[in-house]
Amino acid sequence: MQYSVLYIIDEQEGLENFLYLDTNRGLAVVLFEDKEKLDVVAQTITDKVLKPSQSIKVIKMEYSSIEEAAREIVEVWPTLSDVAFLTDSDPFVTERVASLLQEGPE
């Protein structure tokens, strides 16, 4: 199964990091399967959140399950060991995407 994650790059600060969502369960990284949801979130972040020195990158990965994807990501980035991994079908993510669609562009 192909998953995509959003990655923020700040050229000025020299920083790179995954895009996190703050949930009632703590920080979460979303593993997207639905390109439309990915595009909505990426465009909203680009339009409303990013500073001029920042850009967003989509990283695509092939894994058999979300559990395998999370395990592999944490192996490469151990600082993510306390982060939850959600799919774009998680009710919290679905609600956030629907909210972004209703807000529309600024």
The pLDDT score that the predictor gives to residue 106 is: 54
Q: Report pLDDT for 104.
A: 61
C-alpha span between 74 and 88 (Å, rounded): 19
Whole-number pLDDT of residue 24: 83
DSSP secondary structure of 2-70:
EEEEEEEEETTTTEEEE-EEEETTEEEEEEB--HHHHHHHHHHHHHHT--TTEEEEEEEEE-SSHHHHH
End-to-end, the C-alpha distance of the chain in Å comes to 34
pLDDT in tens, the chain (106 residues): 999 999 999 988 888 899 988 888 899 999 999 999 999 899 988 988 898 999 999 999 999 999 999 999 999 999 999 999 999 999 988 888 888 777 765 5
Q: What is the rounded CA–CA span in Å between residue 88 and residue 81?
A: 20
Domain ranges of the chain: 2-103
Position 23 scores a pLDDT of 86
Q: What's the rounded Cα separation, in Å, for the pair 44 and 97? A: 10
CATH match for 2-103 among 3.30.70, 1.10.287, 3.40.1350, 3.30.40? 3.40.1350
